Amino acid sequence: MDSHALGQRLDRIVKQVRELDDGDRHPIEVNRGVDPELTALALVDVGGEQVSAGDADFAFPIQSMSKAFAYGLAIDTVGLDEVFRHVDVEPSGDAFNRISLAEGDRPDNPMINAGALTVHALLPGGNCTERFQAVHELLSHMAGRELSVNEELFEEELASADRNLGIAHLLKALGVLDADPHDVVEGYTRQCAIEATTVDFARMAATLAHDGVVPGTDERSLTSRAARQVLSVMMTCGMYDDAGEWVTAVGLPGKSGISGGIIAAVPGTCGIAAYSPRLDQHGSSVRGIRALELLSGGLGLHLLRPGLAQL
Ligand code: GLU
C-alpha cells in the first residue's frame, strides 16, 4: 500500500469528521469524563503495515466490539454446531440490550447482549476468571501486546448490570445458559473493559480480514472457519438496529462499541478502526461511522460494488 497517500487520506478524513459535533443522543453515560473531541482512524493491512491519524494511540474500552472476537473463540472452543445450538445468526433489528430470542429460545445473534452472554459462557474455562483470561489472551495476541483492563469501568458497570443480569437469569431459566448467571455477567463485563488503542483495534480487525492470522506474522489466532463466521455475522448484525444503513453506506462487516469505537474488515486486504466518543441513538460513534463511510467511499471498499468478481 502507498502508506504516505493513505496517511494523508486518513488525516483529511479525521479533520473532516472532527467538524461533526452532534451525538450524545444515546442515554448510556459510560463515556463520562472522556474528552468528546477525541477522534482517531487507523488501518492495518494483512501484511501488518499500519497507517493512522488523530488520537490513534489513546486507549479506550473495547465494549461490544469484544463480542465479535469472543464469538470466534467460542467457535474454536466448542465448534460451530454447538455455538449455533445456543445462539442463532439472524439480525434482530433490536437495540443491543433487548432480550431478542429466536425460535427455540436461542438469542437471535451473538452481537446483542443475550447472544454475547451466552457466547461468553462457551469460552474455555470453568469460571469467569478463566473465561476472561481466554478472551484477553486472544485479543492481546491479535494486538501484539498485553492489553490492560479498565478496572474502574468494570466495577462501575458490574454494579449497575441489572439488565444483563436479568437477561442472563432468563437465559438460564430457559436452559440456553448452563453456567451461573452472575459468573457469566462478571466475566462478560470484564471482557468489555479491556482497553486498546485505535491502532490495536485495526490490527484485531485485520486479523479477521486475514482469515484469522495475525497480520505481519504466521501466527493463527482463529481458524479460518471461525474468522469467516465472525465476519458474516458482523456484516448482518454488527451494528444492532442500524445494521441495514451501515451495510448500504459502508458495505463492510463492522462492529461498534458503546465506548465510541468501530471496527471494520475488508477481507483479504485490511482492518480498519475508528474512534470518537460522541454516540448516535443506536449507541455507535457519530464521527466513527462518518469516517468509515468516507474511507470506504473514497477507496471503493464497499464489498457489493460492481467489478469485484473476476471470473
Ligand atoms: N458493556 C456494555 C453492555 O453490555 C456494552 C454495550 C455496547 O458496547 O454496545 O451493556
User: What residue ranges do the domains of the chain occupy?
Assistant: 3-63+195-299, 66-192
In this structure, the number of other CB atoms found within 10 A of the CB of residue 78 comes to 16
* CB 189, CB 158: distance < 8 Å: yes
Percent of the chain with pLDDT over 90: 82
Same fold, 3-63+195-299 and 66-192: yes
Among 17-26, 30-39, 47-56, 129-138, which is the least confidently predicted range? 17-26
* CB 87, CB 118: distance < 8 Å: yes
What is the whole-number distance in angstroms between the Cα of residue 52 and the centre of ligand 1? 26
What is the whole-number distance in angstroms between the Cα of residue 23 and the centre of ligand 1? 17
pLDDT at 309: 54
For domain 3-63+195-299, give the CATH superfamily.
DD-peptidase/beta-lactamase superfamily (3.40.710.10)
66-192: in CATH 3.40.710.10 = yes
The per-residue pLDDT for range 202-240, each reduced to its tens digit, is 999 999 999 999 999 999 999 999 999 999 999 999 987
Q: Quick one: cell of 89?
A: 445468526
In this structure, the number of other CB atoms found within 10 A of the CB of residue 264 comes to 30
Closest among 285, 290, 234, 282 to 34, alpha carbons compared? 285
Question: Closest residue (by CA) to atom 2 of ligand 1?
Answer: 63
Atom of ligand 1 nearest to the CA of 116: 4
Give me the phi and psi of 263, to 5 degrees please. -115, 150
Q: What is the pTM of this model?
A: 0.95
What is the whole-number distance in angstroms between the Cα of residue 64 and the centre of ligand 1? 5
In this structure, the number of other CB atoms found within 10 A of the CB of residue 79 comes to 14
The per-residue pLDDT for range 144-181, each reduced to its tens digit, is 999 999 999 999 999 999 999 999 999 999 999 999 99
